[in-house]
């Protein structure tokens, strides 16, 4: 019985390495990209293979991030119970797990999807796990802005899985996620600024203060409101999407203005959680509008 419990705990630790909630959002935006790029009904086999390949790559990047950030994670109260700093897994086993996921991702995408999607997925994996984690995160308080390119790639990956190309609509989806990332992540960084300061990570609230960060969040949220009108203005989406996006943007702006007026940890965490729901609902609206106009 104890052996079985240890086995279950071991599996749970590996599952935690993949950052399942984050990866779920990544895969969802990729699937939306696939469905938006499809004319008519998407091929189920392509959808499953592409989603699986992108999931494995995102999970691999998350696991590599755990390995590379293990010392920082151990210094932060939010992350000190993760599998590596807590000793649940060894660095070697986590590296092997991350590498196997990366190989599985590339095998699936190259053999069952297409080489362009595989190449872009691999570039995103390296961009997050190496360029952002190893360099940008420690080099500049604009780390999340520059590194956000890797996190904004999934809808493009989904699009290229279907079309074998990157076109303007795919880049528009990229731009939405790219613009959303700073207000999303900086809201969390405000709440966890003491952790980042203790770990020596130059996040914007640590280097420039909370009020400056709140101003930046507000500016990016305004820019996001503008960017999210582009699918309608370019004819990619219609009135259903535009109406929903306007409601979401007003709610996001209200949350951010409240944060700017009262920049405490509770308000910043509520803003952070709302930003996740914002992105999920926004992409769901893109999908709803796509099929609404197809009927």
CATH number of residue 49's parent domain: 1.10.357.140
Summary count for the chain: helices (H), strands (E): 16, 0
| 131 plus 240 within the same structural domain | no
Q: Are 292 and 284 in contact (CB under 8 A)?
A: no
Cα dist from 88 to 26, 75, 121, 220, 277, whole Å: 26, 16, 29, 39, 31
- Are residue 107 and residue 173 in the same domain, yes or no? no
3-class secondary structure, 43? coil
Residue 42 has pLDDT above 80, yes or no: no
**% of the chain at pLDDT higher than 70:** 97
The pLDDT score that the predictor gives to residue 4 is 59
Cα separations in angstroms, 126 against 36, 201, 279, 293: 26, 20, 24, 37
Give CA–CA dist 87/95, Å, rounded.
Answer: 14
Is 190 in the same domain as 240? Answer: yes
Instruction: Quote the number of domains for the chain.
Output: 2
For residue 75, what pLDDT is reported?
83
DSSP code for 264? S
Q: Cα(202)–Cα(135) distance, rounded to whole angstroms?
A: 12
Kindly report, residue by residue over 46-57, the tens digit of the pLDDT. 999 999 999 999
| 116 and 14 in a common domain | yes
Average predicted confidence (pLDDT) for the chain: 93
In angstroms, rounded to a whole number, what is the distance separating the alpha carbons of residues 100 and 120?
18
Q: How far is CA 198 from CA 25, 82, 101, 138, in A?
A: 29, 17, 32, 13
pLDDT at 1 over 90: no
The lowest-confidence range among 148-152, 165-169, 214-218, 229-233 is 148-152
Q: Which helix (H) or strand (E) holds 59?
A: helix 44-68
Question: Which among 102, 133, 166 is the end of a domain?
Answer: 166
Full residue range of the structural domain in which residue 14 is found: 1-166
Residue 10 sits in the same domain as residue 138: yes
Domain edge (last residue) among 166, 197, 216 = 166
CATH number of the domain residue 187 falls in: 1.20.120
Over residues 122-148, mean pLDDT = 88
pLDDT tens track for 185-222? 999 999 999 999 998 899 999 999 999 999 999 999 99
Helix (H) or strand (E) holding 274, with range, is helix 265-294
Do 21 and 55 fall within a single domain?
yes
Residues 142 and 230 in one domain: no
Q: Note whether 157 and 201 are same-domain residues.
A: no
Dihedral, CA atoms, 264, 266, 269, 270, nearest 10 degrees? -120
| Per-residue pLDDT band at 3 (split at 50, 70, 90) | low
Last residue of a domain, one of 166, 186, 221: 166
Per the rule left: phi > 0, alpha: psi between -120 and 50, beta: everything else, 195 is alpha
Are residues 256 and 119 part of one domain? no
Residues 102 and 156 in one domain: yes
The whole-angstrom separation of Cα 57 and Cα 208 is 34
Q: What are phi and psi of 77, to 5 degrees?
A: -65, -30
Q: Which two tokens stand for residue 133?
A: 């984690």
Let me know whether 198 and 259 are in one domain: yes
Q: What is the pTM of this model?
A: 0.94
Measuring CA to CA, how many Å separate 107 from each of 101, 103, 235?
A: 10, 6, 36
Same domain, 208 and 224: yes
């Amino acid at each position: 019985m104890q052996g079985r419990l240890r086995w279950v705990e071991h599996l749970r630790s590996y599952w935690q390495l993949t950052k399942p909630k984050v990866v779920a959002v990544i895969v969802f935006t990729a699937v939306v990209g696939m469905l938006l790029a499809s004319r008519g009904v998407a091929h189920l086999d392509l959808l499953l293979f592409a989603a699986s390949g992108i999931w494995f790559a995102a999970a691999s990047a998350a696991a590599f991030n755990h390995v590379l950030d293990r010392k920082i994670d151990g210094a932060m109260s939010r992350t000190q119970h993760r599998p590596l700093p807590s000793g649940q897994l060894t660095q070697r086993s986590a590296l092997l797990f991350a590498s196997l996921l990366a190989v599985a991702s590339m095998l699936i995408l190259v053999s069952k999807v297409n080489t362009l999607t595989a190449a872009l997925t691999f570039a995103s994996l390296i961009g997050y796990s190496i360029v952002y984690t190893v360099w940008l995160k420690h080099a500049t308080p604009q780390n999340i802005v520059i590194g956000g390119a890797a996190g904004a790639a999934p809808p493009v990956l989904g699009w290229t899985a279907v079309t074998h190309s990157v076109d303007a609509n795919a880049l528009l989806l990229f731009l939405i996620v790219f613009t959303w990332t700073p207000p999303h992540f900086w809201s969390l960084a405000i709440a966890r600024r003491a952790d980042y300061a203790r770990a020596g990570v130059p996040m914007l609230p640590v280097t420039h203060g909370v009020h400056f960060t709140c101003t930046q969040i507000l500016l990016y949220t305004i820019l996001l409101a503008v960017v999210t009108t582009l699918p309608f203005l370019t004819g990619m989406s219609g009135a259903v999407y535009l109406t929903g996006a306007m409601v979401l943007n007003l709610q996001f702006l209200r949350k951010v203005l409240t944060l700017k007026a009262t920049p405490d940890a509770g308000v910043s965490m509520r803003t952070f959680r709302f930003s996740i729901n914002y992105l999920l609902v926004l992409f769901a609206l893109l999908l709803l509008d796509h099929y609404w106009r197809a009927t």
